[in-house]
Amino acid sequence: MTDISRCDPVQLLKALIARPSVTPEDAGVLGVLESALTGLGFTVTRLRFEGDGSYPVDNLFAIRHGGGRKLLFAGHTDVVPPGDLANWTSDPFVPREADGKIYGRGAADMKSGVAAFVAAAADVPTQAGTIMLAITNDEEADGINGTEKLLAWAQAQGHNFDFAIVGEPSSAAELGDSIKIGRRGSLSAVVTVEGVQGHVAYPEKANNPLPVLAAIVTALSGEVIDKGTAHFPASNLEVTSIDVGNPTSNVIPPKGTLKFNVRYNDLWTPQALAEWVSGRIATVDAGQARVTFTVAGVPSQSFLSPLGAAVDTLGDVIFEMTGRRPTLSTGGGTSDARFVAQYGPVVECGLVGPSMHKADEHVTIADVTGLTAIYTAFMTRFFGDLG
């Protein structure tokens, strides 16, 4: 009863690719994962979350109890649509092996990361430590009924963790050259300036909102937000749209709007950033015009994971396996790691992802087995090293 089942990450990857799990369609992908994990001694719970203005989503939580420390792996099985099939050499949902690569939608982002971790778990003795997986089928779209709710559920069940790995493609050019220890936050907003419509020949009877709008654009984009921090670049505001919608040349328009997005570092919360924006807008003399500033949607928080021994261990393992010491990066867009970070230290460590979301998405077999070896070596050391 103590024998440990083996799991071939490439075979598992192919089985996952063969399920066309375009968000939020499960298409049997979590069933493939459930049977693989059950065979490795995991207890699997399937959870469907719904509501909050989004579609229902199937999620999976798995745990294999051992002694000692607790490691969480988080990831997703959903994929973006293949796009125009004419751009694909072969069916995106029939895994194709050629030239040492596996082709198919999700090969890089991130069915290979999931397969590599499951195969690595198969190589770690059960008693070494507790391994958990939190897998959602909605990372690529709304992300409302996915990882955030899955982790809240796990926490309520008492499934806390000492360290977490998100298996998103984190490498830049070669396996292990970069891991992500945090992410910038993202805040989108709209500013509207309302004046009074009128004839251009009688400006005294109108109130043109556009000079005020232009001054606000300058006030926002002309100011340095901060100079960056130890692990983050400077926060940046980009104006993305200035809209008036005026087809005529003899009418002063009644209003104009501008849209912008801020990618911000760990110096800021969304609230503090919104106050900064309000302060900049207040430097503009709007006269009689009415200025409104609204944050669009829910901003994503920035986070920086605590840099402790586990991150060092992961760096050491990657160096020993690849000869490269990973850069500790905070670049790129947002990811589900921001939800994991609310409960404990987390890094993103996965494959190279230049073909993510593209036609003929692929991964090299050597990278899949290489990542499996990194995960296995990390777990062996993480569970063995109680320091």
**Which positions lie near Zn ion, rule CB under 5 A?**
109-110, 168
Residue with tokens 């009689």: 288
Q: What is the DSSP string of 277-316?
A: HHHHHHTS--TT-EEEEEEEEEEEPPEE----HHHHHHHH
Of 123 and 139, nearer to Zn ion (C-beta) is 139
CB of 110 to Zn ion, least distance (A): 4
CB of 154 to Zn ion, least distance (A): 20
Q: Please tell me which residue in 26, 58, 123, 139 is annotated as part of the active site.
A: 139
| Helices and strands, counts by H and E, the chain | 9, 19
Burial bucket for residue 250 (CB in 10 Å: 0-12, 13-18, 19+): exposed
Residue 194 and residue 209 in contact, taking contact as beta carbons nearer than 8 Å = yes
CB of 105 to Zn ion, least distance (A): 12
Residue with tokens 């999931």: 114
Q: How far is Cα 302 from Cα 90, in angstroms, rounded to an integer?
A: 39
Of 117 and 382, nearer to Zn ion (C-beta) is 117
Catalytic annotation on 360? no
Q: Please tell me which residue in 78, 109, 138, 367 is annotated as part of the active site.
A: 78
Catalytic annotation on 97? no
Of 114 and 181, nearer to Zn ion (C-beta) is 114
Q: How far is Cα 25 from Cα 6, in angstroms, rounded to an integer?
A: 29
CB of 209 to Zn ion, least distance (A): 41
Strands 327-329 and 178-180: parallel
Of 76 and 149, nearer to Zn ion (C-beta) is 76
Of 106 and 326, nearer to Zn ion (C-beta) is 106
Burial bucket for residue 51 (CB in 10 Å: 0-12, 13-18, 19+): exposed
Q: How far is Cα 98 from Cα 352, in angstroms, rounded to an integer?
A: 18
CB of 353 to Zn ion, least distance (A): 8
Residue nearest to Zn ion (CB): 109
Please name every residue paired with 132 in a beta bridge, in sequence order, or none if there are none: 63, 72
Residues involved in catalysis = 78, 139
